[in-house]
Amino acid sequence: MKKSSWFSMLVESNFYKHSGLKLFLFLMVVGLPKIQANAYSQFEEITLHIENKTIKQVLVEIESKSQFKFFYKTDEIDLERKVSINVDRMPVDKILERVFDDGTVSFSTIKNQIVLKKAEPKPAKTIKPDSRREAQEANPAVSVSGKVSDEQGVGIPGVSVIEKGTSNGVATDVEGGYSIEVDGPNSTLVFSSIGYITQEIRVGAVSSLNVSMVEDIQSLNEIVVLGYASQSKEDLTGAVSSLKSEDIKNLPVTSAAELLQGRVAGVQVVKSSGAPGATSDIVVRGGGSVNGMSPLFIVDGVRMGTNYSFNSEDIESMEILKDASAAAIYGAQAAGGVVLIQTKRGSGNNEKININVSGYSGIRNTRPLVPLMNTQQMFAARKAFGYDVSAWGDPNTLPDVDWVDELYNPGNDNNYTVSLAGSSQKANYYLSGNIFKQKGIKLDNSFERYSFRTNSDFHLSKNVTVGETVYLYKSSLNPDQGGNYWRTVPTMPVYEPDGSWGQAPSAGYFNGNNPALVALTNHGGQDEFAIQSNAYVDIKIMEGLNLRGTLGANIGSSVNSIFSEAYNIGSQSAPAIFTETYTDWENYTANLVASYEKMLGDHSFKALAGYEMYREDRKYVTVNATNFVADVTESFFLNNDVTSQRVTGGPSPDQRLLSQFGRINYSYAGKYLASATIRRDGSDRFGPANKWGVFPAFSAGWRISEEGFFDQGGFISSMQLRASYGALGNIGAIPQYLYQVSYSPQNFHALGDGRAVQSYSRALSLANTEIKWEEVKTTDFGVDFGLLDQRLTVTMDWYKRLTSDMIYQLPLPMSSGYVAGRLLASNPVFTNIGELSNTGLEIGANYEQSVGDLQMNFGLTGAFNKNKVVSLDGSGTKSINDGVGGQYLSNSISRTVDGQPMSQFFGYVVEGIFATDQEAQERGVVQDGAGAGDLIYKDVNGDGVITQDDRDFIGNPWPKLNFGININMKYRGFDLALAFQGVSGVDLYNANRHYSDFLAGDYNSSPEVFKASFFDGNGLTSVPRLGFTDVNGNYQRDPNANYTNISSYFVENGSYLKLRNLQFGYSFPTAALSKIKVSALRIYLMADNFLTFTKYKGVDPEVLGEGTVGSRGIDFNSRYPQTTFVSAGFNLSF
């Protein structure tokens, strides 16, 4: 339902309320036009006065006085050589030329990183004077020139261009240009630069040769972002995985979590459904709690949303902090892991504005759905099931509607982004705008988002830098209203001949609704608009000491507006209903962090200390009314039943978090590493006794490859050992004031004068003064090593994670007196109940190789995890039952108890099917109602009678192995990327089969019912019977409860391997593009969720469940089906 302009609503709801926001936007408008190109310039001038100090000390001094960080191999650089430098305001590159004036070291700049390497020019080939003259006469010397650029078309300075087999070489200039004279067309040029994959190209009969360099991901991963700081990857002692923008570009995702699927060891991502705007569930190192334990997402240093509202094309890098030592700096928020996202910012080495336009458009289809019975099949099945269908009409003349075809049709996605980036010596900026639209595969179902981002940094002086990030978005969701397609009959038409909505069959055998009516007469949806922003100031107080202050805000509102038309289809009717819910939120984060770095000889120290505050305020109001003078309206003024009007609402639970934290890193000679972190959090969720939680962590590392005894030229080129231990906290999804008696709104009361008031009274729930934090303790041992001169890198981690004091909403006995509602249901109480452990092994490997013009990269991730509930103390019955699969099922599907994995499927163990009635009678175990064709239930307790006490654990929804395989290949202008993802050793409960294989209530079913034993003329089959006709001629339906009991018959192998994403692209030659002022152009074809290899019989084995941990792995027919997606796209740079 359309409202007034989203922009005006955004201004009204945010701009006029917040004077600080006015000032912020004013500064942005005034300041942005003044920004030019390049954040980090190697021409930055600094002053150095150094006498007789080592190279190592000189590099540290340059780092402290500039924006640069140095990277090098210690065995290639003589760090102990002493030099003297006395210069005033000299560019950094000129200083380095003086420091390495002996010609033994060369250097190149990548953004704010300076890479030093040993200068080893290859020996010139020896040619006798006569033979050389003969060679020149046969192959006269040619001059070759061109430009070396990155994949975005930006020139790369300092690239080494050498004629292979000679010492003849040059380096590219600041624009990436070069010119070199070679022996002839048979010569081969070698292009190399630290951070990029080396390329060898034969000259041939060309005089102009432009080259596009590909980033060497293994080299560029040197810097990773950790909590409140960054660190060299080789100095890490915690378990951290990284992704760069190159790894995740162009992927058709609606949430940042999807980007991690199959790309990070130990991270399981399951997309909740194929619905437009659907988000994903993410689990790091196994399920952490009976309440769930989602990771914390930090964007550019502050907590931000990364679901459907987030434009993933803005991401520069993602770091996933998995163990306690890496994540402990975030304390009580980090028990489920931390995902750090850095968005793009301006960079480069010239004052050029880089413009990028990208997008894709494609078709989305559902995976093959279970078919429904047509009219003839339904009549035959119902007749065989004991129904008298004679009064239902003639199936040959009745409607025959395929509701799958009516409700499901191809959808489409369109996603387009335009960005501008640039920088100068004093400032940098990045701006992007995005339009993302999804049309769902179900009737009248869509999502769209409009977003704008601006990031900028200003170097006000050599000691002061300020910057900001502003992200604005507006999204609109038209949700799926069509209901469950199983609750249909083919004899109900979509429309009657007169154009009115199809009526329920007059024979009365169907009491459901018309799903097309439901989809098309519910108008509106949810509009959401927000500003997510942060601003910082970074001050260099003295050498090595920095102070950084950050303020972040997430301010927004949403309107959920649904108008449901009045209808009457015979079986159901309802008046017109209009409901609107308005929600406003304001989230603020403020932190102040001091950091200090110091080197004393071989001793390196880094420390930081910080103070942080988080505040979240949310309020809502819901308005509804029934009966209107218009068929469809957006206004309550057209309501003609004032007595039906209701207004409810108020503040939602707020949240306050106050924290202090600190971290110390120590390194000796680059070999021995140690880190200690502590964070103290205070939360408003807990009482005075447990308000504060303290979460420490410790880690250590040993870089064995830096030892003198290690042969770096051998098969193993690098090796590092890591170990860590730490504690993290978790609040869980609990409300405020659990530790004290509280008041809550109760019923409306009508007064004598016609007024109605809402009363407040003491909430009928038991206060728990002892409730406290969930605590997660993690032990981790890891090893990182490189093989074959770092072409193959491997990371392995073993971990054990123990969650204690899990918070659970425990039901109280009726005798407690804490009951609520007219039905006197028990009011539960939140309490700490037990322990849960996860133990696992993670493996990540990456191999890179170039063969001529063919560049290859192969990545593999794998994670084994074992989940076990250690105890459930205080949980009363010592079990937690959850998981739904439909109204006709006899029990909950999942159970959590001591000594077993969490949320296992729990039901009867099926041992086969009775072939005859005699077999059932002579079995020696009493199983009431059992006969030929019925499931044989195992007598688990051995008492000779099948009862509910014979139920047992029948399946585990947590996979033993999650894995991913990523293949990237490039040949000249062509590129191919394949991303596979899968799980193994996992069970799914196919609750759909309770409906597809049975005739449940007035639901339709599938033709599978005709495979049942002794049904409609069948004999014994592999499918249990639906019932039987007794001696009196009456049909007894499912006397053994084959289709209403929870049993192992419905548990299936959920393992799968998916081709998650396939991309095939072509990049046009830069020489041709330069003629039309284009830097780069790539076109590609893409397929997503394209192939699935599985034994699972359901629609798709990627099953999350119905939202709770206890429902995990239950495939229920209310789920929006997963989809496949095929598209074409482009990336264009100027």
C-alpha–C-alpha distance, residues 896 and 333, integer Å: 25
The pLDDT value recorded for residue 460 is: 92
Q: Which of 40-49, 51-60, 157-166, 1011-1020 is predicted with the least confidence, judged by mean pLDDT?
A: 40-49
Superfamily of domain 218-343: TonB-dependent receptor, plug domain (2.170.130.10)
Q: Which of 500-509, 648-657, 904-913, 1122-1131 is predicted with the least confidence, judged by mean pLDDT?
A: 648-657
- Angstrom CA distances, 676 to 453, 666, 725, 726, stand at 36, 9, 10, 9
Secondary structure letter of residue 950 according to DSSP: G
Task: Look at residue 227 and tell me whether its pLDDT is greater than 70.
Answer: yes
- Angstrom CA distances, 382 to 77, 386, 996, stand at 84, 7, 14
**Residue 776 pLDDT grade (very low, low, confident, very high; cuts 50, 70, 90):** very high
Please compute the mean of the pLDDT values over residues 738-757 and round it to a whole number. 61
The pLDDT value recorded for residue 813 is: 66
Please compute the mean of the pLDDT values over residues 1099-1127 and round it to a whole number. 88
C-alpha–C-alpha distance, residues 14 and 40, integer Å: 35
What are the backbone angles phi and psi of residue 191, rounded to the nearest 5°?
Answer: -105, 120
**Residue 245 pLDDT grade (very low, low, confident, very high; cuts 50, 70, 90):** confident
Q: What confidence tens digit (pLDDT) does each residue in 631-684 have?
A: 999 899 999 988 888 888 766 678 899 999 999 999 998 899 999 999 999 998
Q: What confidence tens digit (pLDDT) does each residue in 275-321 have?
A: 998 888 889 999 888 888 888 898 988 887 778 888 989 998 888 89
- Angstrom CA distances, 181 to 128, 169, 205, 862, stand at 20, 9, 13, 49
For the chain, give the percent of residues with pLDDT over 90: 50
Nearest-Å Rg of the Cα atoms of the chain is: 33
DSSP β-ladder status, 792-804 and 743-750: unpaired
Question: For the chain, what are the domain ranges?
Answer: 45-118, 138-213, 218-343, 735-770
> Do residues 879 and 844 make contact, with C-beta atoms less than 8 angstroms apart?
no
Superfamily of domain 138-213: Carboxypeptidase-like, regulatory domain (2.60.40.1120)
Given the candidates 3.40.1550.20, 3.40.50.2300, 3.10.129.10, 3.55.50.30, the CATH classification of the domain at 45-118 is: 3.55.50.30
Please compute the mean of the pLDDT values over residues 222-227 and round it to a whole number. 66
Q: Which residue has the higher pLDDT, 241 or 826?
A: 241
**Residue 745 pLDDT grade (very low, low, confident, very high; cuts 50, 70, 90):** low
The pLDDT value recorded for residue 748 is: 52
Task: Look at residue 248 and tell me whether its pLDDT is greater than 70.
Answer: yes
Contacts of 1048 (CB under 8 A, 6+ apart): 907, 908, 909, 910, 954, 955
C-alpha–C-alpha distance, residues 1081 and 1134, integer Å: 9
> Do residues 493 and 985 make contact, with C-beta atoms less than 8 angstroms apart?
no
The pLDDT value recorded for residue 33 is: 38
> Do residues 1130 and 367 make contact, with C-beta atoms less than 8 angstroms apart?
no
Task: Look at residue 559 and tell me whether its pLDDT is greater than 70.
Answer: yes
663: helix, strand or coil: strand
DSSP 188-218: EEEEE-TTB--EEEE-TT-SB--EE--B-HH
* Cα end-to-end distance, the chain, whole Å: 39
- Angstrom CA distances, 1052 to 273, 883, 951, 989, stand at 20, 16, 18, 6
The pLDDT value recorded for residue 820 is: 53
Q: What confidence tens digit (pLDDT) does each residue in 97-106 have?
A: 888 877 778 8
The pLDDT value recorded for residue 555 is: 95
The pLDDT value recorded for residue 86 is: 80
Q: What confidence tens digit (pLDDT) does each residue in 910-941 have?
A: 999 999 999 999 999 999 999 999 999 999 99
The pLDDT value recorded for residue 467 is: 94
Task: Look at residue 823 and tell me whether its pLDDT is greater than 50.
Answer: no
What pTM did the predictor assign? 0.81
The pLDDT value recorded for residue 679 is: 94
DSSP 547-564: EEEEEEEEEEEEEEEEEE
Please compute the mean of the pLDDT values over residues 411-415 and round it to a whole number. 95
Task: Look at residue 1049 and tell me whether its pLDDT is greater than 90.
Answer: yes
Using CB atoms within 10 Å of the CB of residue 762, give its burial: 0 to 12 exposed, 13 to 18 middle, 19+ buried: exposed
C-alpha–C-alpha distance, residues 303 and 320, integer Å: 15
Mean pLDDT, rounded, of the chain: 85
**Residue 241 pLDDT grade (very low, low, confident, very high; cuts 50, 70, 90):** confident
Query: What tokens does 377 get?
Result: 């099949």
Q: Which residue has the higher pLDDT, 648 or 493?
A: 493
Q: Which of 263-277, 741-755, 882-896, 1077-1091 is predicted with the least confidence, judged by mean pLDDT?
A: 741-755
The pLDDT value recorded for residue 137 is: 47
Task: Look at residue 569 and tell me whether its pLDDT is greater than 50.
Answer: yes
**Residue 1131 pLDDT grade (very low, low, confident, very high; cuts 50, 70, 90):** very high
The pLDDT value recorded for residue 183 is: 84
For the chain, give the percent of residues with pLDDT over 70: 87
Largest alpha-carbon pair distance within the chain? 120
Helix, strand, coil shares of the chain, percent, nearest 5, are 15, 45, 40
Task: Look at residue 267 and tell me whether its pLDDT is greater than 70.
Answer: yes
The pLDDT value recorded for residue 778 is: 94
The pLDDT value recorded for residue 982 is: 95
- Angstrom CA distances, 523 to 447, 475, 585, 638, 831, stand at 14, 16, 25, 16, 42
- Angstrom CA distances, 1 to 620, 629, 648, 911, stand at 19, 18, 22, 54
The pLDDT value recorded for residue 819 is: 58
Q: What confidence tens digit (pLDDT) does each residue in 19-69 have?
A: 333 433 343 333 433 333 333 444 467 778 887 788 888 888 887 777 677
Task: Look at residue 546 and tell me whether its pLDDT is greater than 50.
Answer: yes
C-alpha–C-alpha distance, residues 280 and 261, integer Å: 10
Q: Which of 159-163, 856-860, 968-972 is predicted with the least confidence, judged by mean pLDDT?
A: 159-163
- Burial annotation 1082-1098 (CB, 10 A radius, 16+ → b, else e): bebebbbbeebebebbb
Q: What confidence tens digit (pLDDT) does each residue in 210-219 have?
A: 888 876 544 4
Task: Look at residue 812 and tell me whether its pLDDT is greater than 80.
Answer: no
